């Protein structure tokens, strides 16, 4: 017996059969429309990048634990991209002289991370990235928050189904140093602790705080400020708040787009100020769906020119989970709208002519590849989701006619060839 290779995809990756691809095409098509209505232009880049750009800017977890790397025959160390932001920063920096800032770009890349597969996490995913480059204005934050709401709305989500929780890492740094007494050296570790705050129990959080060097009193104070919500802003220095774009948003007419949350940090090392995450509010799926933030110096990996940016990445796994949870997942499209069936092999060319007319009118149309009995072809058309069939019989064809049958109503009519498009549309 031959030893067959496995048919399952590699661990952490997925096959998408036509029905699943239909759902994905509909979902992401809506999101593309929203982005382009707002003036975002689509770009793409290579799936392989120098490993160094992730090791220097994406953070320790990605660089040390999740990066797929390889060494070329020429000795170059490359990585499968785990995210798109460093790549787009490279592209922006490399083309800065020809760009008119600010620019709005979006992409839908395939990304890879060596993670433990579980609900909401796989090793290969697709995500929509949307970024604005070249402006420090708080209007960029407002536009990004509006964009998030528009994209969620385009998928059928109502405001009660999700929440945009936002913070400013500079505000949090001030709270940690001025109120909790965290040292500058301890800040990165405390940021990591805060990022895991809602995912860990209190004992584990306390033990980690002790390992960092925080006293019990500092840990209690940290717990207090993280649970204080927007009240924390009253305790921070005015100068710190004056320099915060997030505070400007909270003081604007766009304040209702977000909720201030001191616990939002984001694990990626390149975020410099505004950070946010979008959460599902359903008890069945209460988790972060996607997020992003502002990065003021990511382009400095590639150029001395200061090119600030802000953006987010919306991953396909958690997004589809959200739609499933709320009953918003679209149904797969049928295979075809109409099937043209010749009664005999001699009428194959005639059926192709009819099918051509229907396709020109925008109707998804197929014809049998291997002709079977009419009853079996009708059953096949029904299973393919067709709502109508056109039957081409010899006597009708000789008279310049065809038969149009609605599969739902089972009603049929004989019509002239020139009227076939109108007759099919009427039966759909």
Give dist(CA 67, CA 61) in Å, integer.
9
Region of 73 on the Ramachandran plot (φ > 0 left; ψ -120 to 50 alpha; else beta)? alpha
Cβ 312 vs Cβ 321: under 8 Å? no
Give dist(CA 33, CA 41) in Å, integer.
11
Give dist(CA 110, CA 313) in Å, integer.
12
Contacts of 242 (CB under 8 A, 6+ apart): none
Q: Is 271 annotated as a binding residue?
A: yes
Q: Is 266 annotated as a binding residue?
A: yes
Q: Is 106 annotated as a binding residue?
A: no
Q: Is 270 annotated as a binding residue?
A: yes
- Nearest 5°: the CA angle 319, 28, 329 is 55
Cβ 348 vs Cβ 342: under 8 Å? yes
Q: Is 4 annotated as a binding residue?
A: no
Cβ 107 vs Cβ 129: under 8 Å? yes
Name the DSSP class of 58.
T
Q: Is 412 annotated as a binding residue?
A: no
Cβ 85 vs Cβ 129: under 8 Å? yes
Cβ 319 vs Cβ 295: under 8 Å? no
Give dist(CA 369, CA 242) in Å, integer.
69
Segment (H or E) for 249:
helix 245-250
Q: What SS3 string covers 146-163?
A: HHHHHHHHHCCCCHHHEE
Q: CA–CA distance from 367 to each of 95, 173, 242, 392 (Å)?
A: 49, 66, 67, 11
Give dist(CA 313, CA 148) in Å, integer.
10
Q: Is 54 annotated as a binding residue?
A: no
Residue numbering of the annotated binding site for L-histidine: 83-85, 113, 127, 131, 266, 270-271
Give binding residues as ranges: 83-85, 113, 127, 131, 266, 270-271
């Amino acid at each position: 017996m031959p030893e067959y290779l496995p048919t399952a995809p590699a661990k952490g990756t997925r096959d998408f059969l036509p029905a699943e691809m239909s759902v994905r095409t509909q979902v992401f098509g809506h999101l593309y429309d929203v982005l382009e209505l707002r003036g975002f232009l689509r770009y793409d880049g290579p799936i392989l990048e120098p490993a160094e750009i992730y090791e220097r800017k994406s953070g320790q977890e990605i660089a040390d634990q999740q990066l797929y790397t390889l060494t070329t025959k020429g000795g170059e160390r490359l990585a499968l991209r785990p995210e798109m932001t460093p790549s787009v920063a490279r592209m922006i920096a490399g083309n800065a002289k020809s760009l008119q800032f600010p620019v709005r770009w979006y992409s839908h890349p395939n990304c890879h991370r060596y993670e433990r597969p579980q609900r909401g996490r796989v090793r290969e995913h697709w995500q929509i990235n949307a970024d604005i480059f070249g402006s420090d204005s708080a209007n960029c934050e407002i536009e990004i928050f509006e964009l998030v709401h528009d994209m969620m709305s385009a998928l059928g989500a109502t405001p009660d189904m999700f929440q945009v929780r936002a913070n400013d890492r500079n505000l949090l740094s001030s709270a940690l140093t001025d109120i909790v007494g965290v040292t500058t050296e301890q800040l990165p570790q405390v940021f990591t602790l805060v990022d895991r705050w809602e995912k860990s129990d209190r004992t584990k959080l306390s033990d980690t705080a002790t390992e960092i060097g925080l006293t019990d009193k500092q840990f209690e104070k940290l717990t207090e400020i993280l649970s204080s919500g927007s009240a924390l802003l009253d305790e921070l220095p005015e100068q710190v708040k004056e320099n915060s774009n997030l505070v400007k948003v909270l003081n604007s007419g766009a304040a209702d787009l977000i909720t201030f949350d001191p616990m939002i940090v984001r694990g990626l090392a390149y975020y410099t100020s505004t950070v946010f995450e979008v959460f599902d509010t359903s008890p069945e799926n209460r988790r972060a769906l996607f997020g992003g933030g502002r990065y003021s110096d990511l382009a400095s990996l590639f150029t001395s020119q200061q090119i600030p940016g802000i953006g987010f990445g919306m991953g396909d796994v958690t997004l589809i989970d959200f739609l499933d949870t709320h009953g918003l997942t679209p149904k797969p499209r049928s295979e075809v709208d109409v099937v043209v069936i010749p009664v005999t092999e001699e009428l194959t060319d005639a059926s192709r002519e009819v099918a051509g007319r229907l396709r020109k009118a925008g109707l998804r149309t197929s014809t049998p590849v291997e002709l079977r009995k009419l009853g079996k072809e009708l059953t096949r058309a029904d299973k393919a989701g067709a709502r109508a069939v056109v039957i081409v019989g010899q006597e009708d064809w000789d008279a310049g006619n065809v038969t149009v049958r609605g599969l739902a109503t089972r009603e049929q009519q004989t019509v002239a060839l020139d009227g076939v498009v109108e007759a099919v549309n009427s039966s759909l």
